[in-house]
Structure 1
């Protein structure tokens, strides 16, 4: 807002450059003097009186409305300022430079009042005309991000970091986030690596990098990234790593989730407890990778001895028609089975023997 107030100091020269009615010019000067002395009420009264005398659609009308807008800014009345500047611009009487500045200032006011769409439209006009300073381009990026117009925002955001590589980290984070939302995972990864060069010990950046690689279906690369971070002294919470696996599940990719979990367990980044081994077996089964699911359930059943785990193995063998293996698994399940589980064991065993005889 400071930039808007500073523009008031330049206003007198802008008016003198235009041919206006002497009475209107006198009223504008009187209002400026009153404002400079802190008498906003007198400044407003002078301008409103001049507005009543101005012809509809005239340059005088536009200049008085413009001045009322900047007076409202000085009084911290943003909504009022927006109304006056809109009117002044609608007259199409202001010179090109003044109108351009007013559009940029109006955009800042609209952005501050949460009217992102109109603010962005005004700045787009200035951008197309080649008269959008760096500060306003940054604002336009933020507006596009709010409006979820990421494809428009990205080129401008990239300009920001090219022009000033040492810019605040939030700009690189913005590039990561927008690329992620557009599912441009490799581009997001590239900007995360820039952030990691700045802050190599930032665990969140490492976690996000692995997440992007995982979403890009490069599970081994994701696990390798986490291992590299771990070897560099960065420590992750187990919950963070479990969440990376859950990310794939929520995305409807159980096979990718299983590959990632398997890699994390193999690299000892996650403890291979019973719950995670069971989760791995479930994921392979959800992914319909029956061989891997059977192998995972078998390893778990052998370590736990639980009947329900052996029944999981047996269910896969039943579907595959592996009768000998099925009968073996059923016998291994029997010692720890409940009465209800034994009934299932007996039924499956009977079916398997009958199938063998018929075969």
Structure 2
């Protein structure tokens, strides 16, 4: 094909287009192959055309040839060559204003592809300066160029030009303008666009929730709440974060009851996770709404899910305010199953002391209040309670560290006793009983047990809790003894030593050594009163209390120590041994 014929062909291909043709050609991205199959068929003549374009004198032919070459190099991603030929085509001034505007738009997009945003903005402004009816696409492209340069004020100015010129945007263009306005922080304009979108896309949930977000960005909480409430009534889909936003807006708008109902229903319908965070939020909302029963129910769930000590203490406080003394105690014991952080120790012991005192358990309440005074937090209040109950001053031993069910890093765990008379780990109550007047009674059997060597493990449980476990624990104890190169020399014992945890112990002979959690105890001679009882399912730790009373009424004084010897047979029996002076 000769050069002249090729140029004439190009002239036909690039004849001036009408507005309808221009809109048909436009895409958000450049048409990389505007000539279709014919363009590919003409690639062999590109080199020839490049040689001849400088000699073309006809402006129309020169502009057409330059545009063809520019589009060719766009397809090849040779943006520098494409830009040069676009400029040459524009300088030839051979095409109509409509075609030139389209070419400027294409050139601007090439600059954007080449990350030259400032020149893209300059070219787009040239397109807008052409004396034609403005095109909204040019304003959108100009806004994109300014956004990429970080000039948010210019972004807003460019987009505002659309409305200033009375132009209408298609739905896709509305979304583009919305994104640019939002990123530029022009929330009032976002509000107007979203209201337009809600008219044409009423079923699009994103429009509903974005408008609520835009209201909040403008600090229009009431409008945001009203809007989200309407969306909720219309059954617009909500994801979890959007439901929680609605709950928060109801709460800060002075409607904690409505917020709590929304959240509770959402949890019940699995629309919101029933985790500790949301349960705590539900508790706080019900509490603000003065629905204490519902608040407590949510708080119980939150505490049990999370194991958060602070939540347990909140619950105990609520229960205390309603004088539910036994539930207060149960809640605190559950909170204190593990060692507490030091910051909770004082408050937990204070609450525990109040609940125990209200149950007429003054000795245990006194110990709890003393514990509360040993750690900062509620020590002043605990001191006031001790003064109120006219308690005996704390002994030097009691002031050394926290001892009880609610203890911290410097304390020691001791469980509560099941009742006031039952001996716990420390057997001070027995000593107090021994100081009572001696009365006549049935004689008790007394004996002195020789020195013994024990292989033992310590247990912080109460005697009542430990007894049912003795059989299973004894098997492990015996296995560990064998591993420690020792030999059993009698029945398993439970040793109660004043001021110490209970010990599950096995008398031994040989050279067994301490191993792991197991230790060696060399016991001195032990003078005791003793009695054998059947372990038939009715025996409990109360049998020790009853036997101790019998010993005291017989005129003996208890030392505070005791041993329970579990003897196998049918039936299984326990020999009670209570130390006496």
Give the stretch that moved more between structures: 34-43 or 211-220: 34-43
Residue 295 in 1 paired to residue 331 in 2? no
Q: 2:288 aligns with which of 259, 273, 292?
A: 259
Greater helix content: 1
Alignment of 1:82-121 (within 5 A): 82-87=118-123, 89=125, 93-98=129-134, 101-111=137-147, 116-121=152-157
1:250 corresponds to = none
CA RMSD of aligned residues (A): 5.1
Would you tell me which structure has more strand in proportion to its own residues? 2
> Which runs of structure 2 are paired with 1:139-288 in the superposition (5 Å)?
139-167=176-204, 169-181=205-217, 182=219, 183-184=221-222, 185-190=224-229, 192-193=231-232, 197-199=235-237, 202-232=239-269, 234=271, 236-242=273-279, 244=281, 258-259=287-288, 265-266=295-296, 268=298, 271=301, 273=303, 275-279=310-314
Please name the residue that 2:68 is paired with: 33
Larger radius of gyration: 2
1:25-47 superposed Cα distances (whole Å, 9 cap, x missing partner): 55432222223545766654344
Contact 2:62-2:92 at 8 Å conserved across structures? no
Task: Write the distance in 2 (CA, Å) between the matches of 1:272 and 1:5.
Answer: 57
- Distance in 2 (CA, whole Å) between partners of 1:84 and 1:65 is 13
* Compared CA separation, residues 178 and 266, structure 1 to 2 (3 A): farther
Shift of 1:72: 5.2
Distance 2:369 2:134 in 1: 85
Kindly state the Cα deviation for residue 6 of structure 1 after the two structures are TM-superposed.
6.0
Gaps of 5+ in 1: 10-21, 247-254, 283-291, 316-324, 354-359
- How many Å separate the matches in 2 of 1:121 and 1:335? 74
Counterpart selection for 1:45 from 84, 89, 93: 84
Please say if residues 68 and 84 of structure 1, whose CA atoms lie closer than 8 Å, have aligned partners that are also in contact: no
How far did 1:336 drift? Answer: 1.9
Q: State the Cα distance separating 1:8 from its structure 2 match.
A: 11
The 3 A distance-change label for structure 1 pair 334 and 23 is: farther
3-state SS of the aligned residue for 2:30?
helix
TM-score by length of 2: 0.41
Q: TM-score, normalized by length of structure 1?
A: 0.62
Query: Which of 28, 31, 36 does residue 3 from structure 1 map onto?
Result: 28
Q: Distance in 1 between matches of 2:247 and 2:195?
A: 23
Alignment pair present for 1:337 and 2:369: yes
Q: Distance in 1 between matches of 2:276 and 2:59?
A: 70
Gap change, CA 1:117 and 1:143, over 3 Å in 2? farther
In structure 2, stretches of 5+ residues that fail to align are 1-25, 35-56, 304-308, 334-344, 390-581
The size of the alignment, in residue pairs, is: 308
